Amino acid sequence: MPPPCVERKIENIIFYYYAKLVIAPSAGFKKNYGFIINAYKKLVSGEILISDYERELLHMNENQNSCSFCGSKDCKLDTVHIVPRYYGIPPGIHNLVYACSKCAISKGEKDLVEWWCKELGKPRDDIPRVPIGIYLKIAYDLNKINFSLKKP
Ligand SMILES: [Zn+2]
């Protein structure tokens, strides 16, 4: 769970995890609490914004030959939805990543965080940058559309 200074509203919780799992690792400050809270506060104030999906597409272009989850290289890659289609999000490439057959079959149409943490037994903090970035952006967009960002 986020620290007590993070307000228990959907938007704040998404901002916290975006600061912790996307901004901090990208900046080389993974697990740096001060940096994470500073980035979180900037997201809350609007000083910095959750970037659009181009960032993830660029990352994927740079790593076209490797699995987005396990990093395997030079294997046949499939596309996998980050957020399951049954969540009702509009179809589009913003929700797709490349994955090796093993990860693609294992992940399937499961929720990213549940699959990673419960099924693979790995820490949430270790979800790779591109999948978690897409996941949090879609969570933000979905809650924005549903007017639920300010809900507890
Ligand atoms: Zn893989």
| Exposure string for 63-102, b = 16+ CB within 10 A, e = fewer | eeebbbbeebeeeebbebbbbbeeeebeeeebbbbbbbee
- Would you give the distance in Å from CA 41 to the centre of its chain? 19
Q: What is the pLDDT of residues 40-65, one digit of tens each?
A: 999 999 999 998 778 787 777 787 78
Instruction: Give residues with Cβ within 8 angstroms of 104, minimum separation 6.
Output: 78, 79, 80
CA of 75 to the centre of ligand 1 (A): 9
Could you tell me the pLDDT band of residue 87, with boundaries at 50, 70 and 90? confident
Q: What is the pTM of this model?
A: 0.91
Distance from the alpha carbon of residue 46 to the mean position of ligand 1, in angstroms: 35
Ligand 1 mean position, distance from CA 7 (Å): 35
Segment 60-87 mean pLDDT: 89
Q: How confident is the model at residue 18 (pLDDT cuts 50, 70, 90)?
A: very high
User: What is the DSSP code (8-state) at residue 16?
Assistant: H
Model confidence pLDDT, tens digit, residues 89-138: 877 888 999 999 999 999 999 999 999 999 999 999 999 989 999 999 99
